[in-house]
Amino acid sequence: MKHRLIVSRQIAPDVAATIAAQYDCPYEGKEMTAEEVLAAAAAHKAEALMITSHVRWTGELIARIPDHVKILATCSVGTEHIDIPACKARGLPATNTPDVLTECTADLALMLMLNAFRRGHEYDAIMRAGWRRGYGLGEMMGLRMWGKTLGILGLGRIGRAVAQRARGFGMKILYAAPRRLPPELEQGATWYQDFRAMLPHCDVLSLHAPGGPATADIMNAETFALLPRGAVFVNAARGALVDETALIDALKSGQLYAAGLDVFKNEPEFDLRFAELPNVFLCPHMGSATVETRNAMGYRALDNIAAVLAGKPPIDPIWT
Ligand code: DGY
């Protein structure tokens, strides 16, 4: 007998093929609302739910998950869309997919950074419009990224992978975190316990902290003003960390030279004011969007599901 599974959103084709072979799953590859997931779970007597961060699983929704569901497995490293205390209260194992998306998310952060420093979006737009006029040596200049000072909020797995890449660009690394890391993880980076104290020293700031109450709007009019005038800002973490009106003001006023953004407060209905600004490079939340990583995330979620349905502990529990 195959285990019964509901998948709440389109997943990588290889993972979908594995699920088709190994699970009893009415997968249609469509994006489901929480209500649709709950209805499908009940109708299919699902034993496992594979979800993503596109739906917020509130305590009320988690309380309505049928008892035959033995695990809620999110295909994401982020977990702020899940009411973890509610899962814990009813003893529902919940898991995420850490580690496997570290490198690709760090690659994307560097892509955002380089494009912000070097006006990638504007150059691409010029070429697509046909170019035809050569630029003088004083026109369309970006800023050099090499050798700049990079401040990182959160030197966790992804933050450290960004730091590793940035060192290849001769960058000096600062980081803000509640606790100092051991030297083998710090790799010469300078620690600031106080995030605000780090900001005046950053030529570029890159956010790699989780969402949640502790970081909500941590970048706001006041903190953007603490950066040196003309700094670059990168966010491949969560839109919830940023007051977007303050960010737009900073991009318009020149307080920020440019920004590279992969995440927004409201996705996919992001604030269209960003699209009008020339000095922002935009991505539609694609940090983990490579074949390799999306496969790895799907398989990691399936490993967690298989473990729990076999009566073993989850591999990546988000509560204990
Ligand atoms: C994650 O894994 O948290 C990514 O941001 C995709 O949601």
pLDDT tens sequence across 24-80: 999 999 999 999 999 999 999 999 999 999 999 999 999 999 999 999 999 999 999
Here the tokens at position 132 are 């035809």
Known catalytic residue at 54: no
Residue nearest to atom 6 of ligand 1 (CA): 76
**Distance between Cα 78 and ligand 1 center (Å):** 5
What is the DSSP secondary-structure string of 157-218? HHHHHHHHHHHTTT-EEEEE-SSPPPHHHHTTPEEESSHHHHGGG-SEEEE----STTTTT-
What is the rounded CA–CA span in Å between residue 242 and residue 216?
7
In this structure, are 63 and 112 located in the same domain? no
End-to-end CA distance of the chain: 30
In this structure, are 115 and 262 located in the same domain? yes
Is the Cβ atom of 109 under 6 angstroms away from ligand 1?
Answer: no
Q: Is 233 part of any domain? A: yes
Q: Is 146 part of any domain? A: yes
78-90 pLDDT tens trace? 999 999 999 999 9
In this structure, are 236 and 131 located in the same domain? yes
In this structure, are 132 and 167 located in the same domain? yes
Residue nearest to atom 4 of ligand 1 (CA): 76
Secondary structure of residue 16 in the 3-state scheme: helix
In this structure, are 94 and 147 located in the same domain? no
Average confidence score pLDDT of the chain: 98
Specify the amino acid at residue 209: A
Helix, strand, coil percentages, rounded to 5, for the chain: 40, 15, 45
Mean of the pLDDT values across residues 123-140?
98
In this structure, are 259 and 130 located in the same domain? yes
Give the domain CATH number at 183: 3.40.50.720
The active-site residue out of 121, 208, 285, 294 is 285
**Domains contained in the chain, number:** 2
Write down the pTM of the prediction: 0.96
Q: Is 179 part of any domain? A: yes
Is the Cβ atom of 239 under 6 angstroms away from ligand 1?
Answer: no
Q: Is 320 part of any domain? A: no
In which domain, by residue range, is 296 found? 3-100+291-309
Per-residue model confidence (pLDDT) at position 7: 98
What is the rounded CA–CA span in Å between residue 140 and residue 159?
31
In this structure, are 36 and 121 located in the same domain? no
Long-range pairs for 39-44: beta carbons < 8 A, 24 or more residues apart: 40/6, 41/6, 41/65, 41/66, 41/69, 42/66, 44/4, 44/6
